[in-house]
Structure 1
């Protein structure tokens, strides 16, 4: 979603935006969930196979479903962050910035609801975010946090890809991480317009490859933004 190639229109604050977004997200996530549900049947799994135990610790589980819960946890965090950004815009936000951040919010909500519906009762609970360290009235603070979340999200999907055994799940993850990479690029361009930072050498290596970070490192990096304790020790096992 590079804004250099997309014409953004400003949103009217008086519009019933939530209703419109909810209808669009329902249709989109319903289609994704249907595809995912077919994969569950083909793989011989039902929603009773790997129930997540009740515990004070959020256990992501094992195997492919552990990886999917890992993605679901990260999408929960991102969706909650952008929802708060749009609900409480930073001082001086422009129409273009609001439009871009609203689109990102909508994408993250679709991703979150997709994983929640597709995983069924294997899904982890709704997490409680901790955004105390972010000043939502400050553009610099909000965009710095957005950069962190988007760069972390891309590295997380890349790092978890090798743990996915089902090729169809890997394909779905690839489709989502490409969207996350577009988010990461446009956030970097909002911070430093018309620069090469959208694909900076802090995220792209000398071989032109993006970072791939293991789940343990990602969970450690984001734990300060979640009030829950997350156990990802069995992801992909």
Structure 2
């Protein structure tokens, strides 16, 4: 993936963290949107790392290969955003996976489905907020990979459900969510408090 240089003005990491509450602010403009994507990629990368480190009972070799590939993609996305954002990147987030039973296939795949569907809807909803054509192109390349993940996970759960009416409407369009909607869902899995008050809308 080509390196995208970030030239917009931004805050330092120290400015991003509230010294009293410890809340992390995503920032504003395109930098804020990229930090928003970076936060979600951190969550997904941490999840799939845990899945591969502690495989669920009865995981087949094929399932392990698929989930390892997804892990590697999410790690690449996370590391790309961190490197591209440089000193404008938010700090590493602390996750909360206490509600997930990593030994249970249904729990793991159900969470994977939720994360992948959420990620696709997040990129879909954020696209219109991005001003830079380069960043929009980047987001388009990543959301297409996330959609491939979502389709695969759905078919691992139930064959043929890869594009059902839960995610694709009667017009053949995928779900889109605003950052506010996405972060409200994601916060159940993120210990670090995130504020997004300065994101474009």
Sort the TM-score into its range (normalised by shorter chain).
over 0.9
Distance 2:24 2:164 in 1: 34
Report which of the two structures shows the higher radius of gyration computed on alpha carbons.
1
- Give runs of ≥4 in structure 1 deviating > 6 Å: none
Give distance in 2, aligned partners of 1:155 and 1:107: 18
How far did residue 233 of structure 1 move? 1.6
1:60 maps onto 2:26 in alignment: yes
Question: Please, what TM-score do these two structures have when normalized by structure 2?
Answer: 0.94
Report the counterpart of residue 4 of structure 2 in structure 1.
36
Give me the whole-angstrom Cα distance separating, in 1, the residues matched to 2:73 and 2:121. Answer: 18
2:50 — aligned with what?
A: 84
Asked whether 1:168 is paired with 2:129, we answer no
Q: Tell me, which stretches of 5 or more residues in structure 1 are unaligned?
A: 1-30
* Deviation digits for residues 163-196 of structure 1 (CA, Å, limit 9, x no counterpart): 0011110000000000000000000010012x2x
For the 8 Å contact 2:10–2:31, the answer to whether it is kept is: no
- CA RMSD of superposed structures (Å): 1.2
Paired position in structure 2 for 1:229 = 193
User: Aligned partners of 1:176 and 1:50: how far apart in 2?
Assistant: 25
Q: How does 1:1-237 map to 2 (within 5 A)?
A: 31-32=1-2, 35-37=3-5, 40=6, 44-45=7-8, 49-52=10-13, 53=15, 54-55=17-18, 56-193=22-159, 195=160, 197-236=161-200
Q: Name stretches of at least 5 consecutive residues in structure 2 with no aligned partner.
A: none
TM-score normalised to the size of structure 1?
Answer: 0.80
